Chain A
Amino acid sequence: MILLALWIAFYAVLQPLADGFITFTGLTPDEHITETIRFFVFEVPKVLLLLTLVVFAVGIVRTYFSPERTRKILGGKSLFVGNVLASMLGIVTPFCSCSAIPLFIGFVEAGVPLGVTFSFLIAAPMINEIAVVLLFGLFGWQTALLYISTGLVIAITAGYVIGRLKVEHFVEDWVYQVHSNASAMEELSPTFHDRIQSGYEAVKDIVGKVWPYLLAGIAVGAGIHGYVPENFMASLMGKSAWWSVPAAVIIGVPLYSNAAGIIPIVHALLEKGASLGTTLAFMMSVIGLSLPETIILRKVLKLKLIAIFVSVVAIGIVIVGYIFNVVY
């Protein structure tokens, strides 16, 4: 409680503090270097504060969900309903790409349809709390909401399409031969204190890991903010360049960064005239589709299915990018 009050107080005085810092250093306003520093000094504490709060909250929420429980909910669900549920559960179920394989097998073994499993695997990394926080902090709640809903739509449709394609035989054969003695682990029901504790641990774990990327991302963003001329990005990533959306996705897929590193950069690009659809497409392909994850998945999926998976998601992202470029 006390911490929360402190949090609010500190968050409220950030802007004057940052401005005060600029005045204190005696830099002349409106010069490149001043604007770069102002951006950095203001954004870093703001984003860190937001991140801490949300990671804490999500840490607590996640104690109510587990892959086991999610699997139980998804087992035997019909294709479309299953896809919708899986995508939403993908947001709140604890997930790390390092356990993508056991999770995949656990789902398949329990009779969760392949397409539904994919919906989960697409939503889980793409719509994560870090991305949502940063979007909220830097762009406002509309953009955060937009990201969540388009992410959901992509996860649902891509999973549905994959389910329709009947690709079961492109899963490595050994997956179907696994018979785990799924001895029901006694699930200890956590106390309220335990849940709060998980929140703290999530903060320690995630914020502790992510802050260097965040600093780097904001530094690059600050540089773009201060030095790149207005509308510089318009010709390159603007609406008029039709090829910019697929290009953004093609560049974005092999690139891998977590949300913390990429979003501050994206923020600055948008400011300089890049269009929302193109930027969104870039961001989603960087965060949602990653080379390390596909390499991990290769152990359970034949190459053909990996190709299908990546292309279906990529096409989905391109379509979303175009829609946004048209609408905005």
Chain B
Amino acid sequence: MNVQILGAGCSKCKTLEERIRQLVAKHQLPVEVEKVTDLQEIIKYGIMMTPGLVVDGVVKSAGSIPKDDQLLAWMKGI
């Protein structure tokens, strides 16, 4: 599974990345975490607010930091 965090350096983007990495480490999920900072890349996903969260190529959220259990559910593919 592949998780991408889209964000060019806003404070929420950093928080989301940390949160995701913590969750992945804590639950030992087989997930590849990637931070996307290139604007043109970010825009391709059609989001209008950062941070964007993309799981296996599908945009899950934009502009907010979802709750931990929601994040976990996405990353476990539920």
Contact = CB atoms under 8 A, between A and B. Distances in A.
Interface of A: 66-68, 71, 94, 96, 98-99, 101-103, 105-107, 174, 178, 180-183, 185, 299
Interface in B22-78: 39-40, 42-50, 58-63
A172 B63 CA distance: 25
B48 A67 contact: yes
Contact of B49 (A103, A107, A178): A103
A192 B34 CA distance: 33
A94 B49 contact: yes
Contact of A180 (B9, B39, B46, B50): B46
Contact of A102 (B48, B58, B61): B48
Given A67-B63, A94-B63, A99 B43 contact: no
Contacts of A174: 40
A185 B60 CA distance: 6
Given A98-B9, A185-B62, A103 B39 contact: no
Given A96-B10, A180-B44, 11 more contacts: A96-B49, A98-B10, A98-B50, A102-B43, A102-B48, A103-B49, A178-B40, A182-B46, A185-B47, A185-B61, A299-B39
Nearest to B53: A185
B59 A102 contact: no
B74 to A, nearest CB: 12
Most buried by B among A101, A102, A105, A107: A102
B39 A181 contact: no
Contact of B59 (A98, A99, A183): A183
Nearest to A63: B64
Contacts of B44: 178, 180-181
Contacts of A299: 39
Interface of B: 8-10, 39-40, 42-50, 58-63
A299 B48 CA distance: 16
Contacts, number: 60
Most buried by B among A96, A98, A99, A174: A99
Interface SS of chain A: helix
B70 to A, nearest CB: 9
Contact of A101 (B39, B45, B60, B61): B39
Most buried by A among B8, B39, B42, B49: B49
15 contacts: A96-B49, A98-B50, A99-B10, A99-B48, A99-B63, A102-B48, A103-B48, A105-B43, A106-B47, A178-B44, A180-B45, A182-B46, A183-B59, A185-B47, A299-B39
A180 B63 contact: no
Given A66-B63, A178-B40, A299-B39, A99 B50 contact: yes
A94 B62 CA distance: 12
A96 B73 CA distance: 28
A103 B42 CA distance: 11
Nearest to B65: A201
A86 B5 CA distance: 29
Which 8 pairs from chain A and chain B are nearest by CB? A180-B46, A182-B46, A67-B48, A98-B10, A106-B48, A103-B48, A185-B59, A99-B49
Nearest to A106: B48
A181 B45 CA distance: 6
A182 B63 CA distance: 15
A106 B40 CA distance: 12
A102 B47 CA distance: 7
Contact of A106 (B39, B46, B59, B61): B46
A30 B18 CA distance: 53
Given A66-B63, A99-B10, A71 B39 contact: no
B40 A102 contact: no
Contacts of B49: 66-67, 94, 96, 99, 102-103
